[in-house]
Amino acid sequence: MSIQTLKSLADALAQKKTSSRELVTDYLGRIEAQNAAINAFITVDRDGALAAADAADKAIAAGSAGPLTGLPIAHKDIFCTEGVLTTCGSKMLANFVSPYDAHVVSQLKAAGAVSLGKTNCDEFAMGSTNENSAYGAVKNPWNLSRVPGGSSGGSAAAVAAGMIPAATGTDTGGSIRQPAGLCGVTGIKPTYGTVSRYGMVAYASSLDQGGPMAHTAEDCALLLNHMAGFDSRDSTSLERARDDYSAQLNQPLSGLRIGLPKEYFGDGLAADVRAAIENALAELRKLGASTVEVSLPNTHLAIPAYYVIAPAEASSNLSRFDGVRYGHRAAEYRELIDAKTPALDAMYLRSRAEGFGAEVKRRILVGTYVLSHGYYDAYYIKAQQLRRLIAEDFKQALTQCDVIAGPVAPTAAWGIGQMADDPVQMYLADIYTIAVNLAGLPALSTPAGFSGDNMPVGLQLIGNYFGEARLLNVAHQLQQATDWHLRRPDR
């Protein structure tokens, strides 16, 4: 089955070759046929999707359709959706039906997009493999024994398998780019503050950012045009003129300077991934770009800095899930909390012990530790200082080039369970993505070929602040010259 992009589906709707209801019914059928094997969706909103499709068809008939009217999408189950379960992949929120829409959800809904449901994710977006969901691991459509990457693995797997043409994701340390790279789709993390975090359940507030995932850069630009923009309900939302992320897609790459960080091409990068990245860079050179070596000397500090800052913010953000205000409440307990009460008889402790999974507990404990008296200065303040050094590295490198390029991950997708007993090894899989979040920069992953065992490899492109349109332009031009983004798993 050939790739169906949002652009091609929009053209089919405009030319009356199909209807939104027909499209939605088709994709609902694909989800029903494949989800048992891939586990990409937690919730499918069949009735809501069909009702929205019928409304879209009326708008198209009346001539009042917008760019996204009638197009099926899905949302990562970290975005609140009115009247639909929002679980964050956790038992803690297994029964939570949101009373309101996240800003991203309402913006795409207003543009006419039809949501078919909520995609699986690592619990509270904490993970690199999508194995940490209370609803089971997501499988990579290219090989069901491999991970899809995380935490937006459900969205990436659903797009790669053709279950949906596009989906939303969130990126705290690479959680859009890494699964996009491991599943062979396109995903972009915008500049911090470009997309509102209102209604996006928080993991690490100074790092989280929502973004689109689709087959093509063109589709990502189309979605980002509606996702981005100022929102007064989010104190970190940036008030600035809106960008048209589609405007530069067809700009030639002649004169483009691509920086290649020497730290991204050293030991630890698999030979087959390196070969795919070098082939993609060769294609970009054919299109008129040049490459120059740059340095990001504090790259090795990104993981330790991130895994202090992110857990610290998580321990604070997740304190609200206590079984009292909302979230899972233990069925049996004797006291609310009492120093004389055994821990498992206290309602707060039992509720959180039952509601949270192992990885979430691990990060809460680490975060609470580094924020505790006597350790705040030694760990948290030091990590914030390292964060500034990392941002300065990018600032300096981007004076020598227009965009930075490199791998998304050191290897192609690895086996499910392969790193389950070694969380530190799993954290190291984020070595090339985490620094971008610490600096607040935009970055994307675009398909760049395949590994030796035919698993997708992603090329990461990193830009200067508010440089999303340029990144999408580079990815689009590469996609016009190659077919890696058009290939799909044989399912």
Of 133, 175, 196, 451, which one is the catalytic site residue? 175
String of b and e for 86-114 (b: at least 16 CB within 10 Å)? bbbbbbbbbebebeebbbbbbbbbebbbb
Given 90, 106, 151, 246, which residue is catalytic?
Answer: 151
CB distance 400 to 294 below 8 Å: yes
CA–CA separation, 72 and 135 (whole Å): 23
* 151 part of the active site: yes
The set of residues, in sequence order, having a beta carbon less than 8 Å from that of 106 and lying 6+ positions away, is 199
* From 19, 20, 76, 155, active-site residue: 76
361 is catalytic: no
Beta bridge partners of 459: 407, 446
319 catalytically annotated: no
Residue 253's contacts (CB-CB under 8 Å, 6 or more residues apart) are 284, 287, 288, 289, 473, 474, 477
**Active site residues per annotation:** 76, 151, 175
